[in-house]
Amino acid sequence: EVQLVESGGGLVQPGGSLRLSCAASGFTFSSYWMSWVRQAPGKGLEWVANIKQDGSEKYYVDSVKGRFTISRDNAKNSLYLQMNSLRAEDTAVYYCARDLGSTSCYDYWGQGTLVTVSS
């Protein structure tokens, strides 16, 4: 059974940092692109970043470029999102998601982890 389990969310002050993790199981993690997608409270879905199977390609939404870093450790079946210089508008539930084959749509999602940026 495919499982994605996020962790690392919490309350952080503006300007602070947080590192999210996503533990993957039930599939060959190293064979898939992976993504982070977020959802602000009461709002829609926003793609944040994605990363190629071997980590050689990474892409970000403009609003997080230079502040967030996506990475992965295939030996640990884990995906990460390092978030620096956090802003109030980064407050959201962050989901990790697995790309469906060669597409960039998502067939499996984690349960999400809430990040709240507030003083």
| Chain contacts with another protein (rule: CB under 8 A) | 35, 44-47, 50, 59-62, 95, 100, 103-107, 109-112
In the chain, the DSSP E strands lie at 3-7, 10-12, 18-25, 34-39, 45-51, 58-60, 68-73, 78-83, 92-99, 106-109, 113-117
The token duo for 64 is 């997080």
Closer to another protein at the Cβ: 61 or 77?
61
Cβ 52 to another protein shortest distance, Å: 12
Rg (CA), the chain: 13
Closer to another protein at the Cβ: 80 or 95?
95
Q: What's the rounded Cα separation, in Å, for the pair 60 and 67?
A: 10
118: helix, coil or strand?
coil
Cβ 109 to another protein shortest distance, Å: 4
Closer to another protein at the Cβ: 44 or 75?
44
Closer to another protein at the Cβ: 56 or 119?
56
Cβ 89 to another protein shortest distance, Å: 16
Cβ 88 to another protein shortest distance, Å: 21
